[in-house]
Structure 1
Amino acid sequence: MAVKKEKSILDAPRIPKELDQLTVSDYEMQDKQVFENGRFTQDKIANQTADKVIFDRIVFDNVVFDEIALERAELTDVVFNRCDLSNVNFRDSILHRVEFNHCKMLGFDLSSSTIRNVKFDECYGQYSVYRFTDMKYVSVKRSNFDKADFYEAAFSKVEITETGIDQAQFSGAKLSGMNLSTCEFQSIGVTLEGLQGCIVSSDQVRGFAYLLGVVVND
C-alpha cells in the first residue's frame, strides 16, 4: 500500500526553469533596485548597503554575503542554497515563498520583518535575530538556532523540528500550538504565559520547572 506523502504547510518558491546568470560583485546596489528571473552562482556580494531592494524569482547558489545591509528589502520566490549570510542585515523586510537550504546564518538579522511561507533547512542560525518579526507558515528543520532571538515575535503555523534552540530567547512570544518536542535545548528564555499550549517532551518539562518555582530533586 502506497504511503501518502504529508503535504507541506508551505507554498514553495515559484522559480522559472530558465534563469539568467546574474552577478553584483562588480558594482554597487542601488536603492529600490530590482533583480528578477536570475541566478547568482559562486559569487561574493560584499560591502553593499541599499534600501528597498527587490529580489523576485531569484536563486543564490554558493554565494557569500559580506558586510551587507539591505533593510526593507522585498524577497519573493527566492532560494538560497549553501550560502553564507552571516551578519547580513535584512531588518524590516518582507519575505514570501523563500527557502534557506544548508546556509550559514550566524547573526543574520530579520528583526521587525514579515515572513510568509519561509523554510530553513539544515541551517546554522546561531545568534540570528527575529525580534518583533511576524512569522506565518514557517518551517525550521534540522538546524541549529542556539541563542537565536525571537523576542516578541508573532508565530502562526510555525514548525521548529529537530533543531537546536538552546538559550534561544522567546520572551514576549506565544508558543501555543508549537511542537518543540524534537528540539534540543537545556534552557530557553520564555514566560509561563508564552509557554502555555506549547508541546514539549517529558524530558524538556524538567527544564521549565523554574517557571513554576519548582525544584526538581533527582
Structure 2
Amino acid sequence: MATKKPKNIDPEAPRLPSRLEPLDVGDEEWEDKTVIENGRIESRTIRDQRADKVAFDVVVFDRVTFDRVTLERVELTDVVFDSCDLSNVIFRDAVLHRVEFVNCKLLGFDLSNATLRNVKFDKCHGQYSMFRFADLKYVGIQDSQFEKSDFYDAVFSGVTFADTELDQTQFGNARLAGIDLSSCEFRSIGVTLEGLRGCIVRSDQIESFGSLLGVVVKE
C-alpha cells in the first residue's frame, strides 16, 4: 500500500492587530516563565538572557539583535522577527505557533527538539542552524541560505523548501517523502536511502545521490 504524502499547506500568518505599541523590555534579567505580550520591540540589543519557559505572545521584533541568549522551552505565538539577528541563540525544546522570520540572520540558531507549527523562514541566513529531532508541520523555508544546517531525525509534515541553498545540510534519519527540493541548490546533502524515498528532485540533482543509490553517474 502506497504511503500517503502529506499535503503542503502555506503556513498560517501570525494573528496581529493593525497597530502594536512599543514595548520596553528593559535590561533586567528575565525570570523563568516571564510573559511578554502585545507590543513591538524595535532597534535594540537583548543580551545575556538565560531563562526557562519564557513566553512571547503577539509580539513583533524589528531589527533586534539577540546576544548570548538561551531560552529553553520558550513559547512563541503570533510572533514576527523582522530583520533580526538570532545567531547562536538557543531555543531548544521551543514551541512556535504562527511565527515568521523575515530577512533574519540565524547562523547557528538552535531549535533542536522544537515543535514548529505554521512557521515561515523568508530570506534568512540560516547556515549551521540546528533542527535536530524537531517536529515541523506547515513550515515554509524560502529564498534562504541553510547550508550545513542540521535536520537530523526531524519530522516533516506539509513542509516546503523553495529556492533555498541546502548544500551539506544533514537530513539523517529524516523522511523526505513528498518534500520538493527541485528549486533548491546543493552539491551534496546527508540523507539515508530510506529517507530519500519519495523526495522530489530535478534530474541534474540525482548526481548528488549517486553513491547512496549505488550508481555511477557518467559525465
Aligned to 1:41, what secondary structure does the other structure show?
A: strand
Q: Is the 8 Å Cα contact of residues 9 and 138 (structure 2) preserved in structure 1?
A: no
Residue equivalent to 1:50:
51
Identity over the aligned pairs, expressed in percent? 60
Bigger shift: residues 130-139 or 205-214: 205-214
Displacement of 1:16 in angstroms is 1.4
**1:150-190 C-alpha deviation (Å, 9 max, x unpaired):** 00000000000100000000000000001000001000000
Q: Note the residue ranges of structure 1 that are not aligned, 5 or more in a row.
A: 1-6
Residue equivalent to 1:205:
206
Aligned pairs for 1:60-75 (under 5 A) are: 60-75=61-76
Displacement of 1:23 in angstroms is 2.8
Residue equivalent to 1:195:
196
Q: Which has the higher contact order (CA 8 A, sep 6+)?
A: 2
Displacement of 1:25 in angstroms is 4.2
Displacement of 1:18 in angstroms is 2.5
Aligned pairs for 1:1-218 (under 5 A) are: 9-218=10-219
Displacement of 1:8 in angstroms is 6.0
Q: Note the residue ranges of structure 2 that are not aligned, 5 or more in a row.
A: 1-7
Displacement of 1:100 in angstroms is 0.1
Q: Is the 8 Å Cα contact of residues 25 and 46 (structure 1) preserved in structure 2?
A: no
- Give the TM-score, by structure 2 length: 0.95
Aligned to 2:139, what secondary structure does the other structure show?
A: strand
Aligned to 1:205, what secondary structure does the other structure show?
A: helix
Q: Is the 8 Å Cα contact of residues 23 and 43 (structure 1) preserved in structure 2?
A: no
Structure 1 Cα separation of the partners of residues 9 and 16 of structure 2: 17
Aligned to 2:52, what secondary structure does the other structure show?
A: coil
Aligned to 1:42, what secondary structure does the other structure show?
A: strand
- Give the TM-score, by structure 1 length: 0.95
Specify the code of the residue in structure 2 equivalent to 1:82: S
Q: Is the 8 Å Cα contact of residues 145 and 164 (structure 2) preserved in structure 1?
A: yes
Aligned to 1:50, what secondary structure does the other structure show?
A: strand
Report the RMSD for the aligned CA atoms in angstroms.
1.1
Specify the code of the residue in structure 2 equivalent to 1:137: Y
Structure 2 Cα separation of the partners of residues 175 and 94 of structure 1: 22
**1:181-214 C-alpha deviation (Å, 9 max, x unpaired):** 0001000000010000000000001111111221
Structure 1 Cα separation of the partners of residues 68 and 204 of structure 2: 41
Q: Is the 8 Å Cα contact of residues 22 and 40 (structure 1) preserved in structure 2?
A: yes
